[in-house]
Amino acid sequence: MSPTAVLFDFSATLFDHTRVVDGAGLAARARERGSRLDADTAQRLVDRILVHAETDRGRRTRRRCDLSADEHRQGWVATVTEVPGVTIEIAEAFHDCITDPARWHPYPDTATTLAALRAAGARIGVVSNCGWDLRLAFQRADLHRFVDTWTLSCEHGRCKPDLELFRIACAALGVRPEEALMVGDDPGADSGALAAGIPVLLLPPAPPFPAPRGLGLVQQLTGLGVPGHVPSDEGNPTRHVTPTADGTAGHRVEPGSGRLRAD
């Protein structure tokens, strides 16, 4: 049986996360905060910041950053200032970048996938670990019209993989867990939906933007919006599906460090 609702992760699932902060953007934001920084120097800092953020120390410093908007700012500013050469003004400018809706861009197949699912009658929710109102990014891309509900960690004080967050998302959509499908890219966070009784589709690592994300897999595996298609594994509501880059079932390889994770 096809799901009646689809829950989507945000970063690296529906929106690209690799170009949110660059040297030019950081330099511009730093100037707004009174700090002179050329684009080349800013890019070197960005590279070092992103690597540090994925170290054990960086992860510890920002471990609570998705629990509220205040903790998001505090956690990221503290993490960024741990990098030598970064001032508080530059750290604040970095946070300005990662919470700027204009710097988040949807994948080319995001709109078509959401539109097809909506046309097929599916309800759509976004479930994200985030510390800012990402609805603004959807509004800027004119994608908010496809989304019925938003379950954001910073508004509930709990993060994926906490199963309660997925239960909240299902309740908001008015569906039972077994009637939904969770689509994401992070095995550690998004697979928490399984504990809530929601089947999970983990996407393989994203190809370089602006290549399509491969979201057509959602329609192929569920049959939603695909005339005459019989969904694979019909009748098994708890299958943990992990497609490879070619669309077949397989094991997902965890992306390397140096990427921005804001969900």
Question: Cα separation of 132 and 151, whole Å?
Answer: 12
According to the model, what pLDDT value does residue 214 have?
A: 97
Question: Cα separation of 203 and 218, whole Å?
Answer: 9
According to the model, what pLDDT value does residue 260 have?
A: 53
N residues, the chain: 263
Asked if residue 232 lies in contact with residue 2, where contact means CB atoms within 8 angstroms, the answer is: no
Phi, psi of 11 (to 5 degrees): -75, 130
According to the model, what pLDDT value does residue 229 have?
A: 53
Question: Cα separation of 38 and 142, whole Å?
Answer: 33
Q: What is the pTM of this model?
A: 0.87
Residue pLDDT, tens place only, 168-193: 999 999 999 999 999 999 999 999 99
Residue pLDDT, tens place only, 42-67: 999 999 999 999 999 999 999 999 99
The structure tokens 């505090």 sit at: 74
Asked if residue 94 lies in contact with residue 88, where contact means CB atoms within 8 angstroms, the answer is: no
Q: Which fold has domain 5-17+104-241?
A: Rossmann fold (3.40.50)
Model confidence at 2, pLDDT cuts 50, 70, 90, reads confident
Asked if residue 204 lies in contact with residue 186, where contact means CB atoms within 8 angstroms, the answer is: no
Q: What is the mean pLDDT of residues 199-213?
A: 96
Q: What is the mean pLDDT of residues 141-155?
A: 98
pLDDT at residue 166 tops 50 = yes
pLDDT at residue 255 tops 70 = no
pLDDT at residue 242 tops 50 = no
How far the first Cα of the chain sits from its last, in Å, is 30
Residue pLDDT, tens place only, 215-239: 999 999 999 977 655 544 443 333 3
Question: The dihedral of CA 128, 196, 217, 2: what is its sign?
Answer: negative
- Write the single-letter amino acid at 70: D
According to the model, what pLDDT value does residue 226 have?
A: 76
Residue pLDDT, tens place only, 7-41: 999 999 999 999 999 999 999 999 999 999 999 99
Tell me the domain boundaries of the chain.
Answer: 5-17+104-241, 23-103
The percent of residues in the chain predicted with pLDDT above 90, rounded, is: 84
The DSSP secondary-structure symbol of 177 reads G
